Structure 1
Amino acid sequence: MNNISIKCLQSETIESGSCYGQFLIDSLRPGQGITVGNQLRRVLLNDLGGVAISAIRIAGVSHEFSTIPGVREDILEILLNLKGIVFKSKTQTSEFGQLKIQGPTVVTADLIQLSPNLEVVNPNHYIMTISTSNILEIEFKFEYGMGYKLASQVFLEKNENYLQLDTIFMPVQKVDFKIENVYDNSNNITERVFLDIWTNGSISPNEALTAAAKITIDLFTLLLDTKDTNETVKVEPPTYSINIEPYTNIAIEELQLSVRAYNCLKKAHINTVGDLLKYSPENLQELKNFGRKSADEVFSTLKNKLGIILK
C-alpha cells in the first residue's frame, strides 16, 4: 500500500472548452483496482457540484410556448441552447445575470452580463439570432447544485414569470477506467488502473480527481471517528409524512392521467390535487364509472409524482 502512486499521463482541452485527462494509479494489490476505480467513478459522477442556469425571465414572455418577434428560434429552442452554456463559479450561492441587446445580431454566451463570481467557459456558444431591430431583455438565474434538477420538480413555485430549465449541474461528463495486471521478476502480481475523465471545462480533470479523493477520504474518516458503544439503541420504525399544502393548487391535468380517469374526476368537479385529496380511497372508488383500475392509477401517480401516499 505504501508504494501506491498516481500520475497524470495526459491532459488536454478539447472542443467547446471540454477537458480530458488520463491518470495512472499504480502498485495496487490484486482486487483493489476494481474497488478504487468504482469508488472514484461513482464520486466523480455523483458528488461533484457545479453551477448552471436554472431559470430565465424574458421581457414580454410568460410561458415556454411563446415566440419572440424578430427572433428566429422559439422559446423551447432558446431554452435548449441555454442548457449548453458552461460556467465557472467562485461561490455556491445563487447569482443573477442579464442580457440586453438590440438586433439584428447573433446572440452568443459571451454577451450575457455576469457577476464577478461567474465566468463563461464556452463564450462562442450559440443562443439565438435576432433578425430585426427589436430590443431583447433576458434575466438569468444561476444556481449551484449536484446531479440534475427537472423543471417539473419546481413548477409550483411562484417565480414571477421565470421559465424553469431542466438543470444539469454535473461538471464531470464521463469516467472510464481500465485495470491491468503487472508481473515482476518474482512473478508477483500487482494491479494498475488507467482512469479517464472528461469534464465540461468548468473544472479540470485533475481538480475533479483531487476533489473526488478528498470526498472519499472525508467519508471514511467519519467512519473511523465513530466510536463503538455497547448501549442498546432502540430504533423506532420510520414515519413518513409529507406536507401536502404546496400541492393543493396543482391542476389534475399536471398528473397526466388516462382519459378515463381524467374524465371521471372532471365530471365529479375534481379540478385540483386539493380537491382530489378531500376524497378517501373508498369514496374515490364510488365515483361514477371510476373503478379499481382508475383508482390504482391515481394512487400510483400521486405517489410517484408528488410523494403523496393515500392510506
Structure 2
Amino acid sequence: MNNIFIKCLNSEKIQSGACHGQFVINALKPGQGITIGNQLRRVLLGDLGGMAISAVRIAGVSHEFSTIPGVREDILEILLNLKGIVLKSKTKETQFGRLKIQGPNVVTADLIKLTDDLKIINPNHYIATLSTSSIFEIEFKFEYGTGYKLASQTFLEEDENYLQLDTIFMPVQKVDFKIENIYDSSNDITESLFLDIWTNGSISPTEALESASQIIIDLFAALIHNTDKTENKHEDVQTDSISIEPYNNIAIEELQLSVRAYNCLKKAKINTVGDLLQYSPEKLQELKNFGRKSADEVFSTLKNKLGISLT
C-alpha cells in the first residue's frame, strides 16, 4: 500500500468552459482497482455540490406559458437556456442576481449582475434575443446543493412570483474508469486504475478528485469514531464463547459430507456447525436415517477439518 501513487496524465479545458482530466492510480493490489474506481465514481457524481439558478422572476410574466413582447423565445425556452448557465461560488449561502437590458440586443449570461462571491464560467451562454426596443428584466435566485432537484411547482404565488427551475447542482458531468493489470519481472500482478473526469468548469477535475477522496476519508473516519461503544461492554462475555466455538457460523456445506449424512442433517434443520455442536453423539444418532456410519463420518470430518472432537 505504501507504493500507491496517483498521477495526472492530462488536464484540459473543452467547450463552454467545461474541463476534462485523466488520472492514474498505480501499484494497487488485484481487486482494489474496481473497489476504488466504483467508490470514487459514485461520490464524484452524487456527493459533490455546486451553485445553480433555482428560480427566476421575470418582469411582466405571471406563469411559465407566457410570452414577452419583442422577445423571440417564449418563457419555457428562456428557462431551458438559463439551466445551462454554470456558476462558481465562494460561499454556500443563497444569493441573488439581476439582469436588465433594452433591445434590440442578444442577451447572454455575462449581462447578469452578480455579487463578488459568484462567477459565471460560460459568460457567452445564450439566453434570449430582443428584436424590439422593449426592456427585458429578470431577477435570479442562486442556491447551493448536491445532485438534481426537481421544481416542486413551476409557479409559486407565495414565493413572490418566482418561477422554479429543475436544478442541476452536480459539478461533475461524467466519470469513466478502466483497470489494467501490470506484471513485474517476478510475474507478480498489480493494477493501475485510469480515471477520466469531466466537470462543468466550476471545479477542476483535480479539485473534484481531491474533494471526493476527502469525503470518502471522512466517511470511514466517522465509522471508526462512532462505533457503538456498547460492544466493549460485552467484549469479556463474548470472548469465552468465541474462543471455545469459533466455527459456529460455518455452513455444513463446507464440511463436504456424503449426500446421506448431509440430507439427514438438513432435514433436522442443522444448517451450521453451531447447530451441529448442540447435539451430543448419542442424540445425533437418534436422528431419522442417521446411522452409526454417518455419525462416524461427521465426527471424523469435524476433527480433521476443524479440530473439534464430539465426546
Do residues 198 (structure 1) and 198 (structure 2) align? yes
Do residues 182 (structure 1) and 182 (structure 2) align? yes
2:36 partner SS: helix
Note the alpha carbon deviations across 1:263-288, whole angstroms, 9 max, x for none.
Answer: xxxxxxxxxxxxxxxxxxxxxxxxxx
Q: Which residue of 2 aligns with 1:75?
A: 75
1:151 partner SS: coil
Q: Which residue of 1 aligns with 2:143?
A: 143
Q: Which residue of 2 aligns with 1:126?
A: 126
Equivalent AA in structure 2 for residue 181 of structure 1: N
Q: Which residue of 1 aligns with 2:166?
A: 166
Q: Which residue of 1 aligns with 2:230?
A: 229
Q: How many angstroms does 1:135 deviate by?
A: 1.0
Asked if 1 retains the 8 angstrom alpha-carbon contact of 2:44 and 2:172, the reply is yes
Note the alpha carbon deviations across 1:201-245, whole angstroms, 9 max, x for none.
Answer: 00000000000000000000111112442369xxxxxxxxxxxxx
2:56 partner SS: strand
Q: Which residue of 1 aligns with 2:255?
A: none
Percent identity among equivalent residues?
Answer: 75
1:152 partner SS: coil
Equivalent AA in structure 2 for residue 158 of structure 1: E
Regions of 4+ moved over 2 Å: 152-157
RMSD: 1.3
Do residues 115 (structure 1) and 115 (structure 2) align? yes
Asked if 1 retains the 8 angstrom alpha-carbon contact of 2:153 and 2:164, the reply is no
Q: Which residue of 1 aligns with 2:30?
A: 30
Q: How many angstroms does 1:157 deviate by?
A: 7.2
TM-score by length of 2: 0.73
Do residues 57 (structure 1) and 57 (structure 2) align? yes
TM-score by length of 1: 0.73
Q: For 2:38 and 2:183, how far apart are their aligned partners in 1?
A: 23
Equivalent AA in structure 2 for residue 192 of structure 1: S
Asked if 1 retains the 8 angstrom alpha-carbon contact of 2:64 and 2:154, the reply is no
Q: How many angstroms does 1:153 deviate by?
A: 6.0
> How many pairs align?
232
Distance 1:211 1:80, change over 3 A: same
Q: For 1:193 and 1:153, how far apart are their aligned partners in 2?
A: 43
1:196 partner SS: strand
Q: For 1:219 and 1:153, how far apart are their aligned partners in 2?
A: 34
Distance 1:163 1:117, change over 3 A: same
Q: Which residue of 1 aligns with 2:7?
A: 7
Note the alpha carbon deviations across 1:27-86, whole angstroms, 9 max, x for none.
Answer: 000000000000000000000000000000011101000000000000000000000000
Which runs of 5 or more structure 1 residues have no equivalent in the other structure?
233-311
Note the alpha carbon deviations across 1:3-33, whole angstroms, 9 max, x for none.
Answer: 0000100000000000000000000000000
Q: For 1:55 and 1:164, how far apart are their aligned partners in 2?
A: 4
Which entry has the higher C-alpha Rg, 1 or 2? 2
2:65 partner SS: coil
